Structures are given as structure tokens and as C-alpha cells.
Amino acid sequence: MLAQSIVSIMPPLSCEQSIEVTSIHSVARTLPKGLLEIPPFRSPHHSASMISILGGGQNPHPGEITLAHRGVLFLDEFQGYEQKVIESLRQPLEDRVITVARAKGSVTFPAQFIFIASMNPCRCGKEIGKGCNCTPKSIELYQRKISGPILDRIDMWINVNKVDYEKMATVDTSSSVNERSNVIRARIIKARKIQEERFRREYVASVDTKKKYFNSEMTAKDIDKLALLTEEARTILKISAERMRFSGRAFHKIIKVARTIADLDASGYIKKNHMLEALQYRQKIN
């Protein structure tokens, strides 16, 4: 339910992005009437084939990852997908494009999407220690279906605890925690404008002609220039990286997440509290 509601807090597509997304869905023959102004949300079934996810066929056509371009790709019950489908996400998650090669030639489709996956802690779906009778070995085997390289490409991990039935049945409209989607969306739009202005200034001073919209699109060179860390935040990151044995990819991803948290806080620098929050979202990989 949380994953499916994310589009409600996402800013509408810009004119340029709207034309881009509309063109993709027009080619795929999934276009409703008019321009697409809302970020697409794609949620393929766990039985979907690799071709339907990545794209392809005798005459290559866009797959779900391309139909989710500038929007969201949601895979529910992540472990339920075929292993080859899960592993095939490595390259598009990294490069944000997918190249489909066939005998007649190759086609490169865009694949710039927010990837969201949900998974139960074990096969039975019950809370471990509270109703779950699975053995530690079966739990480990179930969780290990998601390989380290895939885990390393996921920026944030959130544990969702069971909600009390009483809280589900009661809506406290006076609570500041229960923010409306439009309030959250406004905060995100403000943070995105900060990012856009930062990238705009960089375009003027740089020969890099590839337009960027989000912090997630920053290269290692961009991070050095634009993701300004206080000395305290840099020290925390260095110590955490050594203790948790982060890969180079994970090291940069944490900085990008911290930069976004700082933007939401309207801070020009990544401070201690921004870095600590970003580190809490990171999955430790042994």
C-alpha cells in the first residue's frame, strides 16, 4: 500500500519529461489519450518473463523498466520473481538504460526509474519470532535469493513493522504525523528545485552536456563538486564505511541519499544528522 501511494507525493512531469514519457508509451501502444503528466507506476506480476521486464522480442519493444521511465517500477514479493529476472536488473539500475541485442540489430531504451521492491522476512510471511515457525536455515535461504550485487544497488532499506489493528481502525487527524500527500509533495518539489538549480549552475561551468534532474544521477565527479560535506559528516562516513565494509558503489550512494536529505532540510552542506540518517537506511552486506 505504501509503495502504490508513492506517485501521490511525486511532482508532476515537466514538459520535457512529459513528451519523453509519452513518446515511449506511444511506441509501446500503451498510451491513453493526451500527454502523460503524472509519473508512470508499473507493477508487473511476479510471473512476468525477462523479456516483458527488460524488453525485446523479434522486433524489440520496450519492457516494464522502460515503461516506468521517469516514474516507478514496483516489484511486490521480490523473491517470487525468477532468479534471472532479478539478476537482469543489475545493468539498468546502474546505467539507467537497457540495450536489447538481436540478430537484426540492437536497440537502447531509456530506463531511468525509481525502483521499489517489497519482501517478507521469510516464506510464510509472518513476523519472525511472532507466529513464524520457519527454521533459521530456511529463512537464510529465502533471504539469500537476492544476491549481494542487487542489494548493493538499492539505496534505502526500510523495515515495516506490523501495525496494531486499533491504530489501523482509528484515524487521528490532529496528529502532525498524518500529513496529506500534497503537503509532502510540496516539500519534495522544493527540494527538487534546489537540485535543478545546483545542476543548472554546474552545466554553465562544465562541458558535461548530459542533463541531470536528480541527485541519484550524479557521477563520482559530480559528487566531489556538488555534494559538500562538513568535516564531521565526512568523518562519520569514513568510519562507517570501514566498519560496515561498504563497496565503492555503496559509498557514493550514501552520499547521494545524504545530499537529498540535506536538500529537504534546505541545507547547503551535508551535516552530521543528514549523514547519520542516510546510514540508517543502508543494508549491511557481509
pLDDT digits (tens, 9 = 90+) for 92-103: 999 999 998 877
Q: Which amino acid is at 203?
A: Y
97 and 192 share a domain? no
**Does this model's pTM top 0.85?**
yes
Give the pLDDT confidence score for residue 286 in this predicted structure: 44
CA dist 167 and 160 (Å) reads: 15
In a domain? residue 204: yes
- Report the candidate in 147, 29, 13 with the shortest Cα–Cα distance to residue 72: 13
25 and 98 share a domain? yes
Specify the 3-state DSSP secondary structure of 3: coil
In a domain? residue 150: no
Give the pLDDT confidence score for residue 205 in this predicted structure: 57
Range of the domain at 43: 6-119
Q: Strands, DSSP E only, in the chain? A: 41-42, 55-56, 61-62, 72-75, 97-102, 105-110, 114-117
In a domain? residue 1: no
Give the pLDDT confidence score for residue 211 in this predicted structure: 74
Letter string b/e over residues 215-224, b meaning 16 or more CB atoms within 10 A of that residue's CB: bbebeeebbe
Give the pLDDT confidence score for residue 80 in this predicted structure: 87
In a domain? residue 230: yes
Which of the listed residues 119, 136, 152 is the one where a domain comes to its end?
A: 119
In a domain? residue 28: yes
CA dist 19 and 116 (Å) reads: 24
In a domain? residue 136: no
- Report the candidate in 195, 200, 197 with the shortest Cα–Cα distance to residue 214: 195
CATH of the domain at 212: 1.10.8
Give the pLDDT confidence score for residue 161 in this predicted structure: 76
CA dist 194 and 200 (Å) reads: 10
Which of the listed residues 119, 145, 171 is the one where a domain comes to its end?
A: 119
Which residues of the chain have a pLDDT value below 50?
285-286
Tell me how many domains the chain contains: 2
In a domain? residue 151: no
CATH of the domain at 17: 3.40.50.300
96 and 185 share a domain? no
In a domain? residue 168: no
